[in-house]
Structure 1
Amino acid sequence: MDIKLIKTDADYRAALTEIETLMGATLDSPEGERLDLLVTLVEAYERHHYPMDLPDPVEAIRFEMEQKGLTPKDLEPMIGRSNRVYEILNRKRPLTLKMIWRLHRDLGIPAESLIKPPHKPASL
């Protein structure tokens, strides 16, 4: 099996093209093993060249609320009274460590997103 590291954009595009042709391969076949190796190499290349940034804390909370059909009232056990929830959601107050722990535990929001410095909206 002749597989090389993906070092250039041309290597990356060629690997994607080959992956597309191998998509129907059986897992335990030589083609399936080649597909698995190519996908691993492409993922490594993408992680290095196209890193995904984590959302800021409020965006992460709003996303989980939308996905789980939650209202601000549902966040009260994790954040505090309703006025505190709205202060957090409107970026008027930062999350405390205790809030971060609870949001991570109860909603499964990655702690890395919750501790990230909040996004500052552009001023007019």
Structure 2
Amino acid sequence: MTLTFNRETYAIAVPIQMQYNVTSRGVGARQCRAPTGVPHVNDNCYSLLAKSQPKVIKTDEENEQAIALAQELSHRVNRTLEESALLDLLVTLIEKYQDEHYPIEESTAHSMLLHLIDAQSVKEPELVAILGSREVVSQVMSGKQEITQEMAKVLANFFHVDTSLFEN
């Protein structure tokens, strides 16, 4: 069965039938129930769906809201199957939005070296000691010289990482 929120349609694992109480004052509270033959499902799920109204994320604000709800669900101790399904849907929607709006560029050996130097607060004299000369360090740091296989081995050993991080 599918649900449609804000013109977006999502498949859900639990079919729902919505009923409305119509009174002289208008439409009353919604009631959710499983169709005949389908076991009863936690009503908490329906209030969660109504609250979250999962949809394709189109703005940073919607992304932040989805992240907040996903974090809330992921830290819930006794998460129900329905809450787990909603969490999976939210994670998929968040990943889609972030892949489209914040693509991660492929790293290069040079960018990886610069990151490791910054992250570990490595100073130039330390690099000179392992690479051999100030000129080589300057050339490698500026990107004017490629990192050789021998340099990759020495750098990987120094930073305690795999040599493949320094391969282009």
The TM-score, its normalising length taken from structure 2, stands at 0.47
28, 46, 52: which is aligned to 2:78? 28
Please tell me whether residue 94 in structure 1 is matched to residue 146 in structure 2: yes
Q: How many residues align?
A: 111
Which one has the bigger strand percentage? 2
Structure whose CA Rg is larger? 2
Give a deviation string over 1:37-69, Cα, whole Å, max 9, x none.
134413552575353013433332222212211
In structure 1, stretches of 5+ residues that fail to align are 117-124
Indicate conservation of the 8 Å contact 1:12/1:42, yes or no: yes
Please, what TM-score do these two structures have when normalized by structure 1? Answer: 0.59
How many percent of aligned residue pairs carry the same amino acid?
Answer: 13
Which AA in structure 2 matches 1:12? I
Cα RMSD of the aligned pairs, angstroms, is 3.6
Higher helix share: 1
User: Where do 1:1-124 residues align within 5 Å?
Assistant: 4=10, 11-13=56-58, 16=63, 17-21=65-69, 23-25=71-73, 26-30=76-80, 32-42=83-93, 44-46=95-97, 49=100, 50-76=102-128, 78-107=130-159, 108=161, 111-112=164-165, 114-116=166-168
Greater relative contact order: 1 or 2 (C-alpha under 8 angstroms, separation 6 or more)? 1
Contact 2:66 2:90 in 1 (8 A): no
